[in-house]
A and B are shown apart, each in its own frame.
Chain A
Amino acid sequence: MNFTPLNFVLNLPYLLKGELGLFTALGLIALSTIVLSIIFEEKK
C-alpha cells in the first residue's frame, strides 16, 4: 500500500462524472415516469 495524495486530485473528475451520470440517468427515469403517468392515467 503506497500513500499517493496526488491521486485524490487526479481522480476528482470521476466524482463529477459519476454524480453527473447518476443525476442524468435518474432525471431521465423520473421524467419518463411522469410522462407514463400522464399517458396511462388510471381511469376512475
Chain B
Amino acid sequence: MSFLYENLFALTWQQVTMWVIGGILIYLAIEKDMEPSLLLPIGFGAILANLPFSGAVSQYINGVFQEGPLSTLYDAGIANELFPLLLFIGIGAMCDFGPLLSNPTLMMFGAAAQFGIFFTFCIASMFFPVNDAASIATIGAADGPTAIVVAQKLHSTYLSPIMVAAYSYMALVPIIQPPVIKLLTTRKERLIRMDYEPKDVSRVTRILFPIIITVIAGLISPASVSLVGFLMFGNLLKECGVLNGLSDTAQGAMANMITLLLGITVASQMQAEHFLQVDTLMILGLGLFAFVFDTAGGVLFAKFLNIFLKKKVNPMIGAAGISAFPMSGRIIHKMGLEEDNQNFLLMHSMGVNVSGQIASVIAGGLIMSFFM
C-alpha cells in the first residue's frame, strides 16, 4: 500500500511554493484578466512540473531516464526558438501600421522608449554575466517572444524567470505605467491636445513598408532578421490583400495554438530547484526596473522634443513606445481622457505603440549582435 503515500513523502516545501506561485498566476489570469492566454497555461504548467516525480517533465527516476511531454515540447519549440518566431507571424498580421504610416516621425518615440533595456543591461551586468544581463534587460522589450529568442541565443540560464517576468509585467502595464507617467509630467502637459489628420496611405506603401523595414533592420543588425523578418512577413500577409485566408489563420488559429503551447511549455522550466533562487527575485526586480525606465525614456524624449517643437506633443504618448501592443497605446488614450474627456490620443498612441513593437525587435537584434 506504500505506493499510495510514498510520493506524498517525496513532496518538498519548494514544490508546494511553486504550486502557490502557479495558483497566483491562475488567479491573476482568471480574476484579474491579466494576459490570461499566457498566465493560465504557465500557472497550470508550474503545478504540473512540480509534482513529485512528475511524468510531465523529463527526469531520472531511480536511475532511469523518463521523457516528459513538456520537455519534448520545449526541445521542439522553444530551445530552437520556433514557437516565438511563429508567434511573430501572427503578431505581424495583427499589427496595423496605418497610424504610423500617416505620421512616420512617431517612429522616433519607439527608439527612445527602449532606453530601459540598455540601461538595465548596465545595471544587471554588475550582478550577472554579460549574456544573462543582456537577456534579463530584454524583459524591458515588453515583448515575450523577443525575450525568449534573445535568452535562447545568448544561452542564458534564466529563461524561465525571464519569461515569467516578461509576460507578467506586460500584463501589469496598466499598473506600472500610469504612476511613472504622472511623476514625470505636469497636468498642463497631460492636457496637451494633438490633432489627428489622417493621410491616405497607398496600398503600394503598405506593401513595401514591411519589406523595407526587414532590409534596413537586417543591414544594421543582421541578428534581428529572424525576429523582424517573421514579424514583417506576417504584416505582408495582411497588407498584400490576396492572402486573407493565411492572414486570418496567422492572427487567429495559429497565434492561439502557439500561445497555448508556449505558455505550458515554458512552465516545464519552472521546476522548484531552478526557479526558487535569489537570482529569480533579482530578475523580477530588474525586469520591473527596465519597464519603468523604458516608460521614462519615452516620456522624457517627448518632453525634450517639445523644447523645439512649435506644435507640442502630449508627452504621455512617448510611453506607448514601450511595445506591449496594444495595451500601452490604449492606456495612454485612457489617461488622456481622464485628464480631459475631449482629448483623443488613441491614433497617436497606437502609432507610437506599433513603432515600439518594431523598435523592441530591433533592440533585441542589437543585443544579440553585441553579445553573440
Interface residues of A, Cβ cutoff 8 Å to B: 1-5, 7-8, 10-12, 14-15, 17-19, 21-34, 36-37, 40-42, 44
Per DSSP, chain B at the interface is: helix
Q: Are B213 and A36 in contact (CB under 8 A)?
A: no
Residues of B within 8 A of A30 (CB): 104-105, 107-108
B128 close to chain A: CB less than 8 A: yes
CA distance A27 to B205 in the complex (A): 17
CA distance A38 to B17 in the complex (A): 59
CA distance A12 to B208 in the complex (A): 36
Closest A residue by C-beta to B362: A25
Closest B residue by C-beta to A25: B220
Q: Are B366 and A21 in contact (CB under 8 A)?
A: yes
- Minimum CB–CB distance for B352 against chain A, Å: 11
Q: Are B108 and A40 in contact (CB under 8 A)?
A: no
Residues of B within 8 A of A41 (CB): 202
- Minimum CB–CB distance for A21 against chain B, Å: 5
Interface residues of B, Cβ cutoff 8 Å to A: 100-101, 104-105, 107-108, 110-112, 114-115, 117-119, 121-123, 125-128, 130, 133, 199-202, 204-205, 208-209, 212-213, 216-217, 220-221, 278-279, 282, 355, 358-359, 362-363, 366-367, 370
Per DSSP, chain A at the interface is: helix
List the 7 shortest-distance A-B pairs measured between CB atoms, nearest first.
A42-B200, A22-B111, A30-B104, A33-B104, A18-B118, A40-B204, A15-B118
- Minimum CB–CB distance for A30 against chain B, Å: 4
- Minimum CB–CB distance for A26 against chain B, Å: 5
Q: Are A18 and B127 in contact (CB under 8 A)?
A: no
Q: Are B367 and A26 in contact (CB under 8 A)?
A: no
